[in-house]
Chains A and B, each alone.
Chain A
């Protein structure tokens, strides 16, 4: 079984530029999560999707961050414009309906973003 796929793995951009991250969850997983992980810290939830619906986006900085999961499968997280403080690893995770939200999550390898 293929795991959670994320791309790109690394991204270096200048501040004020836009950037987008893509995630393809495990097949059949209806719940998808985006996290941000700063160096030396645990992941911080940005947004959670149940199918195509964003059911928790309270931690998403909506002035510059946006996300979509149009067909309830893969998802895109965008930052526009990026700031220096956005440098972090962006993780995508998924879980199945059977196990419920916030039960066992399967994480992708992450995208390491560096903003110069």
Chain B
């Protein structure tokens, strides 16, 4: 069963624009992670946010976490062609014993 569900399933934006994708989950978590997957580099860890954190930044990435709404968002600013990929959220349960990936958002950056 999928714990994290990404929204939208697919997103197409112009290069230079910002991209926002969301992840909702059902049960309490220890942390939530975002991964990127493209054909060239496989699955790559982007950022981890813990349940007691509300926001984290890494370069052009900004992740927020709202545990009251059981949701997270990933913002990519000033998008580039190389950002074209599928983005997955993964939730780690509160006992840190399980990790569950969502189905992903497929992001396309138009030149």
Contact = CB atoms under 8 A, between A and B. Distances in A.
Q: Decide whether A and B are members of one complex.
A: yes
Contacts of B96: 100-102
B99 A40 contact: no
A43 B101 contact: yes
Interface of A: 40-45, 56, 91, 93, 100-110
Nearest to B106: A40
Given A42-B2, A42-B88, A106 B45 contact: yes
B99 A102 contact: yes
A103 B31 contact: yes
B39 to A, nearest CB: 10
A56 B98 CA distance: 8
Interface in B25-78: 30-31, 33, 42-45, 48
B4 to A, nearest CB: 8
A42 B42 contact: no
Interface of B: 2, 30-31, 33, 42-45, 48, 88, 90, 92, 96-104
Given A41-B103, A104-B48, A110 B97 contact: no
A76 B31 CA distance: 29
Nearest to B1: A44
A42 B103 contact: yes
Contacts of B100: 45
Nearest to A6: B42
B24 to A, nearest CB: 14
Given A45-B98, A56-B98, A103-B48, 13 more contacts: A40-B103, A41-B104, A42-B104, A43-B43, A43-B101, A44-B101, A56-B97, A91-B42, A100-B96, A102-B98, A103-B31, A106-B45, A110-B42
Closest 7 CB pairs between A and B?
A42-B101, A107-B43, A102-B92, A102-B99, A104-B45, A42-B88, A109-B42
B99 A108 contact: no
24 contacts: A40-B104, A41-B103, A41-B104, A42-B2, A42-B88, A42-B101, A42-B102, A42-B103, A42-B104, A43-B101, A45-B98, A56-B98, A93-B43, A101-B96, A102-B30, A102-B92, A102-B98, A102-B99, A104-B33, A104-B45, A105-B45, A107-B42, A107-B44, A109-B42
